[in-house]
Amino acid sequence: MVQLAHVPPRVQALRDLHALLDPIVLAGELHPSLQTDLVGAFEHQGVPYSIPRIVFTGPPAAYDTIRLAIFGGLHGDEPASVLAPLAFLERLASDPARATGYELAVYPLCNPFGYVFDTRHNGADLDLNREFWRGSKQPEIRVLEHELSVNRFHGLITLHADDTAEGIYGYTRGHVLNEALLEPALRSASSILPRDPRSKIDGWLARDAKIEACFEGVLSAPLGQRPRPFDLIFETPALAPIDRQVEAATTALDTILDEYRSFLAYAPNL
């Protein structure tokens, strides 16, 4: 089996994108439930970069397929947010039943330039997670906005790692369903890393490691999409051991899939 989670640490030259992307391509060749391709290619100072997409299709269920998207690596200096989606794909490849009823589009490397150079920003020195739906000309944003517009996912999950965090936390954006999904995700992941205990996190008021407010221009569904998808941001403490960050994030992803499936089963009775 292809060990996606065993990509070498970045200190061992993971800045070479081939070291990251080649196992993804190989996984797609070996696992029929995985489809890998590059949804965007662009250049910066003559150097080519690509944004990969891996689609995992779980076993069918008695209901319509649920289409979710998982994003990582918007900030290039947050390696856990890149490695966690790949580790999650490895889990699913070994146990596809975890994703029964789901089609997951995974974008683990949304800022390849930043990842190569270990920087938060892209090649234009911009924070990509402040650029969405603002008429941005950045190629990464255009690619991802196109994916969001065309696919109209039922749910979005974005992974980050915060070097000021004292534990795991997340953003609900004030939506009831987001909080209903984030709370059990935090609860399950807290067996690996503690919740951030502060009442103010990343400049925002927080309650039990959940933040209702959010920055402008963060990755989100198209403004006119109806019905609105659930939309979660899950953060790990970047100074924690990276293997524990990855495990906490993958545990959170697993929990969100279970909880959303249960919500859909319960919703018709509301």
Q: What is the pLDDT of residues 91-111, one digit of tens each?
A: 898 899 999 999 999 999 999
Q: Which of 65-74, 223-232, 261-270 has the lowest mean pLDDT?
A: 261-270
Closest CA to 185 of 202, 221, 207, 210: 210
37: Cβ contacts below 8 Å, ≥ 6 apart: 52, 53
Contact between 247 and 228 under an 8 Å Cβ cutoff? The reply is: no
More confident residue, 67 or 17: 67
pLDDT value for 10: 41
**Res 6: pLDDT:** 36
Q: How confident is the model at residue 267 (pLDDT cuts 50, 70, 90)?
A: low
Indicate if the pLDDT at residue 140 is higher than 90.
Answer: yes
At residue 136, does pLDDT exceed 90?
yes
Could you give the count of Cα atoms lying within 13 Å of 263 in the half-sphere of its Cβ? 18
Q: Average pLDDT, stretch 14-18?
A: 60
- pTM of the model as a whole: 0.92
Q: Is 269 helix (H, G, I), strand (E, B) or coil?
A: helix
pLDDT at 225: 95
Position 67, amino acid:
R
Is the pLDDT confidence value at 69 over 80? yes
Mean pLDDT of the chain: 90
Q: Which residues contact 64 (CB under 8 A, 6 or more apart)?
A: none
Predicted confidence (pLDDT) at residue 67 exceeds the cutoff of 90: yes
Place of tokens 């069918």: 60
Write down the pLDDT at residue 63.
Answer: 87
Given the DSSP bridges, would you call strands 210-211 and 169-171 parallel, antiparallel or unpaired?
parallel
CA 112 – CA 17 distance, rounded (Å): 8
| Spatial distance between the Cα atoms of 188 and 186, rounded to a whole number of angstroms | 6
Question: Phi/psi at 78 (nearest 5 deg)?
Answer: -120, 75
pLDDT digit string, tens, across residues 181-192: 999 999 999 999
Class of domain 4-269: alpha beta
**What pLDDT is attached to residue 260?**
96
Number of residues written out for the chain: 270
Which is more confidently placed, 27 or 135? Answer: 135
